[in-house]
Structure 1
Amino acid sequence: MELFKCKYGAGNIPKGVFLLPLILLVVVVLLPMIIDLDESYFSLYSSSLETKENRNCNIFSGNWVPYSKGPYYNNESCPFIAEKQNCFMHGRPDREFLKWRWKPDECELPLFDAKQFLKIVRGKSMAFVGDSIGRNQMESLLCLLNSVARPKDITGRYTSKDDIYFKWWFYGDYKFTIAILWSPFFVKSNKAYLNDTSFSNAENLYVDEADEAWASHIEKFDYVIFSGGQWFFRPLTFYENGQVVGCQKCRNLTTDPLNLYGYRNAYRTAFRTVVNLKGFKGSVFLVTHSPNHFENGEWNKGGGCNRTVPVRMQEKTFLRPYGLLEIYETQVEEFAAAAKEAREKGLRFGLMNITGVMLMRPDGHPHKYGHNLDRNVSINDCVHWCMPGPVDTWNEFLLHMIKMGRL
């Protein structure tokens, strides 16, 4: 301003001197920025807030709090819900279990944003490896994404030594693939379970050999999510180098203790297989053990899970699912060892620690509503999770961890 005073004198500044440069600045520089402001600004701003508040927050320590807005979807709006998890289709009368949301102690867990998720995973692929608990989470993810995009169903039987059934879903607009790679033990087995539903005959587990059915497909995946554990409660015979090295429930199905040798080595072999794949550059998640909630009896002796609301964190010590602590500790120990080796090779491992979170949700299982009530079925389902339901929170964790780079 002093320069203008010197040249023109006070009060003699030409009217167009300020106006023309300002107009040019808006047109040439600022206008494109203003047009693009809505998405980029809010995306950056919200991301910076999340980074400051949540990056150092333990999102798995907290409580379930009342939430009145309801679930992301319902059993009529989502076509991907397996019949055994479609609790309302089979007559579950209560809705209280849907009116809760996970609240970490020191921060907020963002709601699941389907558009944001699909933008992040554009051009990538994600595999859920394990048993039906992993499939439960995968189907939840399909339901959460259904409001934005409908995938193409690519179903087939991939013939290998083990002839395992896989299912693939492809989102063409985003070039994103989701797959479930069924392998309940992670390692090679004789698959006696295919013909034995009584669980009385021992399954042979070759604990030093990964199940090639999933291991032969995993190299090119960007995200690999391992989850499993429920199948390791049954009778098992452990082999290493082709020789029997131990067993579980060898003599008595009810009184013999758990032998976690097979469980530990199955995870060790699975992690080692991924870490040693020469072409693998993806990220690996471990979803910790999903607790069951059989009360007033064992799973095959009338046990059920008919609660309709969560338990508080202080109350969860009264819930003691069989083998939960031992299985959880074994998982975490093997994960920690594998993650250390993975870091040395530039790979990323992330721990989705849902065990304590879900221990507080005995209300979220199908119970007797995992099948048609007209059928003469005496076994209640206190293992899997109703959809919609608390299992959707796992995918809130998944998106948050990917955004925060905790892999």
Structure 2
Amino acid sequence: MSSTNPFKDQSSSSLTKKLLRCILYALLPLALIRLYFYPLTPSLSPTNQFPHTKPPIITTTATATTFTSPSPPSSKEHHSSNTETPCDYSNGKWVPDKFGPLYNGTSCGTIKDGQNCMSHGRPDQDYLYWSWEPKDCKISRFDPKIFLHFLRNKHLAFVGDSMARNQLESLLCMLSTASKPELVYNLGDDNKFRRWHFKSHNVNVSIYWSPFLVKGIEKTEIANYNRLFLDSVDERWASDLDKMDMVVLSVGHWFLHPAVYFYGESVLGCHYCVGQNYTEVGFYDVFGKAFKTTLETIMERRGGGGGGGGGGGSDSDSDSGKGIDVVVTTFSPHHFEGEWDKLGACPKTQPFKEGEKQLEGMDAEMRKAEVGEVEAAKEKAKKFSRIRLSALDVTKLSLMRPDGHPGPYMYANPFANGIAERVQNDCVHWCLPGAIDTWNEILLDVMKRWDNQSRWSGGR
């Protein structure tokens, strides 16, 4: 009868253990090298809790209610952005999206009445179920918690005209599905200067009315033309630059109005200045000059120190070490097909198909001026380590959405008493919710790319 040798088994077991230890010792240096060159990054899942990264910048005693609104799975593929191959957001198509918007016309209290198409009885709802699909990249469905995470303890300012307000109110509604904003500041007619605070992440979001970005005097009944001073920024917003961490600039349509243009003590000319003894110069070059002055002023005031220590204002600025992100939302086309007070002013209920509508004429020229100034500013900003700039290129994708405007539904139930002979239409601004929500999805995508770039470069 055979017997088991206990010493033989013990020797085999000991040899196995030694072999495992050798393998572990060999793998440990490889793992350390892997972590050094490819550090792990925290997941930005909506369920994660993010710690505060720096002391709060605002103190408030008001109570803000925070709630979570679970988002359905997205038809858009989640992706990790690659900053070395930036996304061309202008090149793509609108595709059906069965999930629709994150909010509705009654769930958000910040929608301007004129853009609340759902509550005003717009009968069709197909305009709510489209998403923009760029050809060369993917845009994830908007995640409010990720957006708020990127802005924790920061101040985001929208500066511009009513299109800036339209985008701001879209963003507030999207963010409110995760955290309720509290209105903490309100000044001016038509709510032109407002600020909200998200207590959950200590985030401030503001709107500054400035339809030219530069110093301007708006037209009156006495002088039916605007006066623009192209060498000076509008201090109604620029005086707060030291308090801003991110600024979104959005203007355009006010430059189409009659105006006289000044540069220092000189008059450059005018646009559509009937009865004025000035040279007609149009507004495309003036539009570009306004952005040039604006972007250069931001760099001058927030680029102090340059090199490795830039991003601040003057030496006396207590926040001289923090950077600023600058986004220019490009021109948003209108879709008037008839008279503004007739039923068929913007009658379409579907997006244009790919290739059906070309970007040309005024829309193309306005976009060209903005993108050109952003690219020029990027070159100048290379000497500053803490200034980032990007064009939020929404002109083409907005051009393809003639169905996204309020039309006659800028007022509640405009046809309750039958079809009126004349009814005011809005074919410039965008329904909320609606196509303009895509602008903020792209804004978040830009922020992700910046964050990805910072991780690899070791910047902020």
* Same fold? TM cut 0.5: yes
Q: Deviation string for 1:292-338 (max 9, x for gaps)?
A: 111134x5788711110100120012x76x62122111112222111
The within-5 A match list for 1:360-371 is: 360-371=400-411
Post-superposition shift, 1:379? Answer: 3.5
Post-superposition shift, 1:232? Answer: 0.6
Post-superposition shift, 1:48? Answer: 10
Post-superposition shift, 1:101? Answer: 0.8
Residue from 200, 204, 214 that aligns with 1:187: 214
| 1:258 and 2:303 correspond | no
Question: Residue 88 of structure 2 aligns to which amino acid in structure 1?
Answer: N
Judged with a 3 Å threshold, the aligned counterparts in structure 2 of structure 1 residues 343 and 316 are, in CA distance, closer, same or farther, namely same
Match of 1:316 in 2: 357
Judged with a 3 Å threshold, the aligned counterparts in structure 2 of structure 1 residues 257 and 359 are, in CA distance, closer, same or farther, namely farther
| 1:342 and 2:387 correspond | no
Distance 2:262 2:42 in 1: 55
Residue from 90, 98, 119 that aligns with 2:149: 119
Residue from 178, 187, 196 that aligns with 1:148: 178
Judged with a 3 Å threshold, the aligned counterparts in structure 2 of structure 1 residues 212 and 7 are, in CA distance, closer, same or farther, namely farther
Question: Residue 349 of structure 1 aligns to which amino acid in structure 2?
Answer: L
Please give the TM-score of this superposition, normalised by the length of structure 2.
Answer: 0.72
Judged with a 3 Å threshold, the aligned counterparts in structure 2 of structure 1 residues 400 and 250 are, in CA distance, closer, same or farther, namely same
Match of 1:272 in 2: 296
Post-superposition shift, 1:264? Answer: 1.9
Distance 1:260 1:250 in 2: 16
Distance 2:247 2:123 in 1: 36
Judged with a 3 Å threshold, the aligned counterparts in structure 2 of structure 1 residues 80 and 188 are, in CA distance, closer, same or farther, namely same
Distance 2:166 2:150 in 1: 22
| 1:285 and 2:327 correspond | yes
Q: Secondary structure at the match of 2:370?
A: helix
Residue from 379, 382, 385 that aligns with 2:427: 382
Contact 1:156 1:167 in 2 (8 A): yes
- Aligned-residue sequence identity (percent) comes to 36
Judged with a 3 Å threshold, the aligned counterparts in structure 2 of structure 1 residues 296 and 49 are, in CA distance, closer, same or farther, namely closer
Distance 1:133 1:104 in 2: 23
Question: Residue 398 of structure 2 aligns to which amino acid in structure 1?
Answer: M
Post-superposition shift, 1:49? Answer: 4.8
- More helix by percentage: 1
Question: Residue 188 of structure 1 aligns to which amino acid in structure 2?
Answer: K
Distance 1:289 1:95 in 2: 25
Distance 2:113 2:104 in 1: 13
Contact 1:258 1:323 in 2 (8 A): no
The within-5 A match list for 1:3-402 is: 8-10=7-9, 40=42, 49-51=79-81, 56-157=86-187, 165-192=192-219, 201-251=224-274, 258-277=282-301, 278=304, 279-280=312-313, 281-297=323-339, 299=340, 304-317=345-358, 323-346=362-385, 347-372=387-412, 373=414, 378-402=423-447
Contact 1:205 1:262 in 2 (8 A): no
Q: Deviation string for 1:110-158 (max 9, x for gaps)?
A: 0001111111211111000101101111111111111111111012338
Q: Secondary structure at the match of 2:197?
A: strand
Match of 2:57 in 1: none
Contact 2:285 2:369 in 1 (8 A): no
Q: How many residues align?
A: 367
Distance 1:397 1:42 in 2: 17
Question: Residue 379 of structure 2 aligns to which amino acid in structure 1?
Answer: K
Question: Residue 93 of structure 1 aligns to which amino acid in structure 2?
Answer: P
Structure 2, unaligned stretches of length 5 or more?
Answer: 21-40, 46-76, 305-311, 314-322, 455-460
Judged with a 3 Å threshold, the aligned counterparts in structure 2 of structure 1 residues 106 and 244 are, in CA distance, closer, same or farther, namely closer
Please give the TM-score of this superposition, normalised by the length of structure 1.
Answer: 0.81
Judged with a 3 Å threshold, the aligned counterparts in structure 2 of structure 1 residues 244 and 42 are, in CA distance, closer, same or farther, namely closer
Q: Provide the alpha-carbon RMSD of the alignment.
A: 3.3
Moved more, 98-107 or 233-242: 98-107
Distance 1:226 1:57 in 2: 20
Q: Deviation string for 1:56-91 (max 9, x for gaps)?
A: 443432100011112111001111111011012222
Moved more, 302-311 or 132-141: 302-311
